[in-house]
Amino acid sequence: MKKTIIILLFGFTSIVSAQRHSALVTFGHFKPSATEGGFILGYKGETFIDRNLSIGWSASWFSKSYVDKVLLKQYEQYYGIVNGELSEQRSKTNLHSIPLLASMTAYLPVFPIISLYITGSAGAEALLIFYNNLQNEDQNEFKTAWDFSWQLGAGIAYKIGNRSDLVGEISYHNSNPSWTYTVTDPETGATKHLEQSFDMSGVALKFGFKFFW
């Protein structure tokens, strides 16, 4: 019995150690609905559970400074249309999007050095938001917003070495983080709760290098 357990343990250890692992670093362009498009940086770690199937996790970073048109519209509905430059100054927003996702990827080799793949992932997205106070444009505020996030993508991997690939991928990302804030009417003292949401759904085009061990 002991010999059987030892053999099974060694067999399991061999299987685990025999699994391939990879690290993918990507860069590209992401265009969410909430803002203009911009640069996106990403990382993905994979463990291959089969020859052409992997599980893993990914993280990416997207940053953008812009005038929040939705917030500007809410502001003008509540306070009325005032100095346009002042309204835009109060609606300036700087956000950082950081999704953390678990993933699964299936590969389809088409040539000895080329593979196509499809990938799906899901997890949580953190949105770090720096914005001007609606009633005092010189006062900076900071908020965090969270939401469930998912992503679907397809790509191509070109083998450039024994342990490295050049990768190109197009993907669709979906999330809509939001948070609620309160404004006070300076004349009546009445307060109103407004919700600011950020539709981070959009398409990303990424390129990168993958390394195996």
For residue range 18-52, what is the model confidence (pLDDT) as tens digits?
579 999 999 999 999 988 899 999 999 999 999 99
Q: Which fold has domain 20-212?
A: Porin (2.40.160)
Q: From CA 95, how far away is CA 206, in angstroms rounded? A: 20
Burial level of 137, CB count in 10 A (0-12/13-18/19+)? Answer: middle
The predicted structure's pLDDT at residue 19:
75
Q: What is the pTM of this model?
A: 0.79
The predicted structure's pLDDT at residue 31:
96
Q: From CA 200, how far away is CA 34, in angstroms rounded? A: 6
